[in-house]
Amino acid sequence: MADNKFDTPEIREYPIIPKLQRDVMSHSKPFIAKEPHQEPLGFPGELVDDWHDVAIKKMGDLQSKYRSLQVYLDSCVKCGACTDKCHYYVGTTDPKNMPVARQDLYRKVYRRYFTFAGKYFPKLVGAKDLTKEVLDDWYSYFHQCSQCRRCSVYCPYGIDTAEISMAAREVMDTIGVGQKYCNEIIGKVHKIGNNLGLPGPALEDTLEGLEEDVEEDTGVAVKFPLDVKGADVLLVTPSADFFAEPHVDGLIGYAKVFHEAGISWTISSHASEAANFGMFIGSYENMRKLALRIREAALELGVKRIVFGECGHAWRVAYSFLNTLAGPWDFLDQNYPIPQHICEVTHGLIEDNKLKFDKSKNDDMVLTYHDSCNVARASRMGDKPGGQFAIPRNVIKAVCNNFYDMSSDTIKEGTFCCGGGGGLLTDDLMELRVKGALPRMEALRKVVEDNGVTHMAAICAICKSQFSKVFPYYDFTMDQIVSVHQLVSNAIILTGQNDENEENEEKDGKNHSQRDIDEAA
């Protein structure tokens, strides 16, 4: 645990662009991966002797494999349009957290070794040798990028710093300088099937517990099936949904929707994880290996559809990459999108009038919605561009009476990251996470004051965990973040369910235990 003392940034009344303060975040570095975290992923356990040459070779290799990298390294004109667009710059004021400056950490090495100007006139174009100091900067600042793509929206050439961060992390992994948090987790999925390292029997227990809870709550026997062959739908959901708050309330929501719509579904113990941290470390091979578990599970269980639970980057990998990594999906039912988001499923059922809601069940809340970056800027829902904005909002509005959006430059394609994405959701980066959350906290504070908003809904496991952790720093409480399907779960009327009074009491009781679990974690 980092017990660095740091100050939580002040919520500013008029967010103006802060003046830069050099190197104020250069101390921020996540724990380094040790041999047992590195080797299962195919990376060396510690800094290799000829690291300099290996790194340069890897850079050349990546440039020849990724057009994005090659084009982005060449095309930046240093116009500065992106400089104020990163939440980490806004929250920390460290200039190396300006997207272009972050890219330049990589670009100056690229220029030195791969371009005419950098080879012969390094000073003129700001090219630098790859030294130990440069490597230290890389480790620090490429782990201060949540790969949220906000900068890419505003760059005249669409330069996406996330692509550069991913490349830099892969180069570092290749020379033995990996990040413990991501690599340890990826190892667990390779071995066990989910980020938590939760084995099949434990998962089964958890799901049984949920079945009991829901039946007690509602009087309806809603099932949480595991490894059921021949089910129609394979649900792939972030493993946080199995135990963390408010995630698990979302999982209960999905189960109720499936139950009420009469869709047979199952979770797989082999692919019990939607998250794919292979993306965060820029490793195509690792990302592919993780994605293939889903294919194996789908084949093994003989399902017809694949549905993803609420998770931001998982949905990016699912929507944008799954067909590439683990397709073709010709053995699934082609009448449904492959894969499908749980919000698309619920939204479709709502449109077809297949679900009934008592919206007043959510009247104790006034809601706003946080667009998760990977859903907003790296994927889609439905069949129209922008469905990723409309569909979750429509689901919320179908189950809640009170909803207000945050200010327009902080939502949809301009949404600010929660501060914990991209493989940074670890306690050793707490200062960064708290500071990076500033722009979102300011936007939230505003709707709290202006519109009386009490809760923020999200559809990303990382966002939910991050907010429940950083809310207290900004004088919110951790239970003010909710899952979208938690709202669905509250309002849905199951055929044959208990009468309401009992249920309200139950809900109060649950809110207490929710707090206990978070503090324990």
Contacted by 320, from another protein, ligand SF4, none: CB < 5 to 8 Å by type: another protein
Q: Which of 355, 365, 337 is nearest to 483 (CA)?
A: 365
Label the pairing between strands 233-236 and 265-267. parallel
Residues contacting 112, CB < 8 A, separation 6+:
118, 119, 122, 127, 128, 129, 130
Choose the binding region for another protein from 24-32, 83-91, 133-141, 348-356 (rule: CB under 8 A).
Answer: 83-91
- Pick the binder of ligand SF4 from 41, 69, 105, 162 (CB under 6 A): 162
- Please identify which residue in 157, 475, 511, 521 interacts with another protein, judged by CB under 8 A: 157
Q: What's the per-residue H, E or C state across 164-179?
A: HHHHHHHHHHHCCCCE
For position 370 contacting another protein by CB under 8 A, the verdict is no
The residue from 75, 477, 504, 511 that contacts another protein (CB under 8 A) is 75
Q: Which of residues 8-27 bind another protein (CB under 8 A)?
A: 17, 19-20
SS3 content of the chain, % helix, strand, coil (to 5): 55, 5, 40
Residues 6+ apart with CB under 8 A from 255: 210, 214, 222, 223, 224
Within residues 95-134, the interface with ligand SF4 by CB under 6 A covers 99-100, 102
Nearer to ligand SF4, 163 or 173 (CB): 163
516 vs 514: CA distance, rounded Å:
5
**Residues 384, 396: Cα–Cα separation, whole Å:** 19
**Residues 6 or more apart whose Cβ sits within 8 Å of residue 213:** 252
**Residue 477 C-beta: closest distance to another protein, Å:** 32
- When asked if residue 117 is in the footprint of another protein (CB under 8 A), the reply is yes
Q: What is the 3 state secondary structure string of 49-77?
A: CCHHHHHHHHHHHHHHHCHHHHHHHHHCC
Binding mask 335-364 for another protein (x = CB under 8 A): --xxx-------------------------
CB of 16 to ligand SF4, least distance (A): 18
- Tokens, residue 449: 């004051």
Under 8 Å between Cβ of 483 and 237: no
Is 293 an interacting residue with respect to another protein (CB under 8 A)? no
What's at 213, amino acid-wise?
D
Say if residues 130 and 113 touch (Cβ distance below 8 Å): yes
Residue 231 as a binder of another protein (CB under 8 A): the answer is: no
Please select the residue that binds ligand SF4; options are 59, 69, 76, 458, rule is CB under 6 A: 76
CA distance 128 to 141: 17
Give DSSP secondary structure letters for 63-116: HHH-HHHHHHHHH-----TTTT--HHHHHH--GGGSHHHHHHHHHHHHHHHH-H
- Residue where the block lists tokens 């239970």: 479
Reduced to 3 states, what is the DSSP secondary structure of residue 340? strand
Question: How long, in residues, is the chain?
Answer: 521
73 touching ligand SF4, by CB under 6 A: no
- The answer to whether residue 372 forms part of the interface with ligand SF4 (CB under 6 A) is no
Shortest distance (Å) from residue 154 CB to ligand SF4? 6
Q: Is 147 in the site for ligand SF4 (CB under 6 A)?
A: yes
Q: How far is the CB of 146 from ligand SF4 (least distance, A)?
A: 4
How many Å apart are CA 383 and CA 376, to the nearest integer? 15
Total residues contacting another protein by CB under 8 A comes to 73
Phi, psi of 456 (to 5 degrees): -115, 130
Per CB under 6 A, the list member of 36, 80, 327, 452 interacting with ligand SF4 is 80
Number of chain residues interacting with ligand SF4 (CB under 6 A): 27
Does 79 bind ligand SF4 (CB under 6 A)? Our answer is yes
Q: For the CB of residue 93, give the shortest distance to ligand SF4 in the complex, in Å.
A: 14
Choosing from 150, 293, 313, 455, the residue that interacts with ligand SF4 (CB under 6 A) is: 150
Under the criterion CB under 8 A, does residue 407 sit at the interface with another protein? no
- 92 in contact with ligand SF4 (CB under 6 A): no
Out of ligand SF4, another protein, none, which partner does residue 14 contact, by CB within 5 to 8 A per kind?
none
Interacting residues with another protein between 45 and 64 (CB under 8 A): 63-64
Nearer to another protein, 155 or 251 (CB): 155
Q: Residue 72 CB, nearest distance to ligand SF4 (Å)?
A: 8
Task: Assess contact for 251 and 242: CB atoms under 8 A.
Answer: yes
Q: Closer to another protein by CB, 36 or 42: give it.
A: 42
Which of ligand SF4, another protein, none does residue 288 bind (CB under 5 to 8 Å by kind)?
another protein
Nearer to another protein, 152 or 194 (CB): 152
Least Å from the CB of residue 473 to another protein: 26
Q: Between 393 and 432, how does the x/- string for binding to ligand SF4 read (CB under 6 A)?
A: ------------------------x---------------
Q: How far is CA 67 from CA 63, 72, 159, 168, 335, in A?
A: 7, 8, 12, 15, 33
Residue with tokens 């966002």, as numbered in its chain? 463
Q: Which of residues 179-198 bind ligand SF4 (CB under 6 A)?
A: none
- 379 touches which of another protein, ligand SF4, none (CB within 5 to 8 A by kind)? another protein
Positions touching ligand SF4 (CB under 6 A) are 76-82, 85-86, 88, 99-100, 102, 145-151, 155-157, 159, 161-162, 417
